[in-house]
């Protein structure tokens, strides 16, 4: 399938005006597949880490949401151990007016504000609700262990 004008424009803009703390670049041989890196937001348990994700634009894009998944292990109540993300705009709240940029910004925001009341990883969410301090410590530990670039 030919790459739509929209995907070309979006890609150009992502490269020329990158979002702070987010990088996204398509593969050379598949311009619908993006390698994404999001740095952990400051004052979050993920601060200091760099999280790698994959993002794929299906043939239905932009009528259907892109497929996004964490590749880096992360301790977060809305992200499961396969890296799948529970985020409304990736599901029923998707609008064709949203873009790769807005999706990645929403994921970054999710890192700053975990929502244990709408969990994907139940055990993590339970931990978060019963002992937030301890859960945050685990998240920090995981960040150091798996998302540390040094």
Partner 1 sequence: MDTLLAQMVDMGFDAEVSRFALEQTHCAGVQPAIEFIYAMNDKPNAAGFKPSTPQRQTTTTIDNNNNNNNNTSSLGRQGTSSLSQPTKKIRTSIRDSNESFDSDEEYYQDVDDYEFDSPIVEVANVTNTVIQASEIAKTALKEIEKITNITDATPCAATLMLLKYQWNSNKLLEQYYEDPDRVMKQAGVPEKEEFTAFASVKGEDCIVCMDDLSRKNGCFLSCNHAACVQCWTTYVEGKISEGESISMTCLAYKCGTIVSDSFIKKVIPQYYNKYLERLALTFVDKNPNMRWCPTAGCGNALKADSQSESIAQCTCGFRICFKCNQESHIPASCDQVKQWKKKCEDDSETANWISSHTQDCPKCHSAIEKNGGCNHMSCKKCTHEFCWICMGNWKGHSNCNAYKKEENSNKSETKKALERYLFYFHRYNTHEQSKKFETKLRKGALDTIMAFQNKKDKRWIDVKFIETSTEVLIQCRRTLKYTYVFGFYLQDGAEKNLFEYLQNDLERTTENLSGMLEKGEDQNVQQLKEMTNLASTKLNHLIEGVEEGLTAHGTKKKF
Least distance CB 81 / partner 1 (angstroms): 30
Which residue from 3, 6, 30, 131 is in contact with partner 1, where contact means CB under 8 A?
Answer: 6
Q: Please choose, from the candidates 140, 136, 149, the residue with its C-alpha nearest in 3D space to the C-alpha of residue 37.
A: 149
Pick 97 or 113: Cβ nearer partner 1: 97
State how far the Cα of 139 lies from the Cα of 78, in Å rounded to an integer.
Answer: 13
Residue list 61-90, contact with partner 1 (CB under 8 A): 62-64, 89
Least distance CB 10 / partner 1 (angstroms): 8
Residue list 90-149, contact with partner 1 (CB under 8 A): 93, 95-98, 102
Least distance CB 142 / partner 1 (angstroms): 32
Pick 35 or 106: Cβ nearer partner 1: 106
| Residue 2 interacts with partner 1 (CB under 8 A): yes or no | no
Helix pair 122-130, 132-146: axis angle to 10 deg: 130
Active site residues: 86
Using CB under 8 A, list all residues that contact partner 1.
4-6, 9-10, 60, 62-64, 89, 93, 95-98, 102
């Amino acid at each position: 399938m030919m790459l739509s004008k929209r995907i070309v424009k979006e890609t150009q803009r992502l490269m020329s005006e990158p979002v702070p703390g987010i990088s996204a670049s398509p593969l050379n041989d598949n311009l619908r597949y993006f390698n994404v890196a999001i740095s952990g937001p400051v004052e979050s348990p993920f601060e200091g880490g760099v999280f790698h994700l994959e993002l794929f634009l299906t043939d239905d894009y932009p009528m259907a949401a892109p497929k996004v998944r964490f590749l880096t292990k992360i301790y977060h109540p809305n992200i499961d151990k396969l890296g799948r993300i529970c985020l409304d705009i990736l599901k029923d709240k998707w609008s064709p007016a949203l873009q790769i940029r807005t999706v990645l910004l929403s994921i970054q925001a999710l890192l700053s504000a975990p929502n244990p009341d709408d969990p994907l990883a139940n055990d993590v969410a339970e931990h978060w609700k019963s002992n937030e301090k301890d859960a945050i410590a685990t998240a920090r530990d995981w960040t150091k262990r798996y998302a540390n670039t040094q």
